[in-house]
Amino acid sequence: MNKRIFLGLVLAGLTGTGCSETTEAEPVHEAKSVIAGKLGAHAAQEALDEDTIAVQAYERVRQAHAARQAQSVRLAVYSLQPVDDVVAQVDARARTVGLEMGAARKSGHELMVEAGHRVLSIDARSGTERYVDRSRFHSGRSVATLPLARADYIARAREHVQRALPEVATRNMRAYKFRQYVNESAGPNGERTGPQVYQVAVAFQEMVGDLPVIGSGGKVAVHLTPNGEIIAHESAARGVGRRLADLSGSEVLDPEVARRQAEERLAARGVRLENYRLVRAELGYLRHGRHSPQSVMAPHYAYLYEPLSPAVGGRKVVEVVPAVTNPEVLAQLRQDAQAEAQRKAERMAYAQPEDVR
């Protein structure tokens, strides 16, 4: 029996974990790096950031407020670049990824180009691009031992970004996370035979100044076979536009106040915080998911809580709070939230069956 386990979806959220499976799989062995150096010294020596920079940024601001030196904190707010004309964009992008341009078809707010098993799609509202080889995506052959080292997969993924997403590659995109997609195998008598990897993914996270972009957006994920062949990518890293505001002092919310706000919201939603513990606090520019029409990017605090024990029956919860107090910026964030709520409502209405009563 084979049981597929997603060891963390790369673009699923702040933590990189968004899967419904809770089974823990043993790490699969990796080979020593033999090719990363050939693909570039920068890629060969890249270390995964995970969430280190966001945690360090939070701690710096927390310490500044605790020392009554909030005036030393400097944060900025940016617009996001508008989405280009999608028809012209999908034509050019299809050529870049090697798809013969046929008649593009529309699916909801996405334009898609198909060539055999390969599909390119661009969301007209968010600009998110997805490319996938459907014949191999989540359907590859499993291996007990990865034939390449992690550094090799990172190097090949970055090389793909440089070739297929050249505009994104010019930005400060740091290696963020590495994930394995695993089949859990069992013998005829039910005995566990160990995990086998059928796909890997590398995520790159954008940095804006000295702050990372947190949340589901602002990232590029590249999916590879165990042999290192590219089978998909997703880019939710729409470019940063003009600087809208520079904030400091009282316009930067105290992280401890933000934490209290986060916990009040969670409690109001029925989360019993006595059964959870805070495992991580972050500061970064918040970007929403792949379909979000977000127009403003502002610093946010993010608080990650996890259950104290499996008996709690809950999952990790994340709450984000704007790190700014400027009324104009908060009004812009509310407008974005309203647009996102409307998008989700439209999607739900579209998904509902027609009322024929």
Per-residue 3-state assignment (H helix, E strand, C coil) for 185-228 = EECCCCCEEEEEEEEEEEEEEEEECCEEEEECCCEEEEEECCCC
Per-residue b/e over 83-121, b at no fewer than 16 CB within 10 Å? beebeebbbebbeebebeeeebeeeebbbbbbeeebbbb
- Looking at the fold, whether 221 and 282 belong to one and the same domain comes out as no
CATH of the domain at 330: 3.10.450
- Looking at the fold, whether 169 and 289 belong to one and the same domain comes out as no
For residue 75, being part of any structural domain is answered with no
pLDDT at position 170 is 92
pLDDT at position 32 is 53
Q: Which of 192, 217, 239 is the last residue of a domain?
A: 239
Q: Which of 215, 239, 263 is the last residue of a domain?
A: 239
For residue 62, being part of any structural domain is answered with no
Structure tokens at 256: 């401890």
pLDDT at position 6 is 38
Taking the whole predicted model, whether its pTM rises above 0.75 is answered as yes
- Looking at the fold, whether 212 and 255 belong to one and the same domain comes out as no
- Looking at the fold, whether 136 and 46 belong to one and the same domain comes out as yes
- Looking at the fold, whether 226 and 294 belong to one and the same domain comes out as no
Q: Which of 221, 239, 257 is the last residue of a domain?
A: 239
Our count of domains for the chain comes to 2
- Looking at the fold, whether 99 and 27 belong to one and the same domain comes out as yes
The full DSSP string for 152-187 is HHHHHHHHHHHHH-HHHHTS-EEEEEEEEEEEEEE-
Q: Which domain holds residue 328?
A: 244-350
pLDDT at position 258 is 98
- Looking at the fold, whether 139 and 188 belong to one and the same domain comes out as yes
Structure tokens at 236: 């939710």
For residue 78, being part of any structural domain is answered with no
- The tens-digit pLDDT sequence of the chain (357 residues) is 444 433 333 343 333 423 223 233 345 555 554 444 444 444 445 778 888 999 999 999 999 999 999 999 999 999 999 887 777 788 888 888 888 766 678 887 888 998 889 999 999 888 999 999 999 999 888 998 999 999 999 999 999 999 999 999 999 999 999 999 998 776 677 777 678 899 999 999 999 999 999 998 889 999 999 999 999 999 998 899 999 999 999 999 999 999 999 999 999 999 999 999 999 999 999 999 888 889 999 999 999 999 998 877 778 999 999 999 999 999 999 999 998 888 888 777 655 455 444
- Looking at the fold, whether 257 and 199 belong to one and the same domain comes out as no
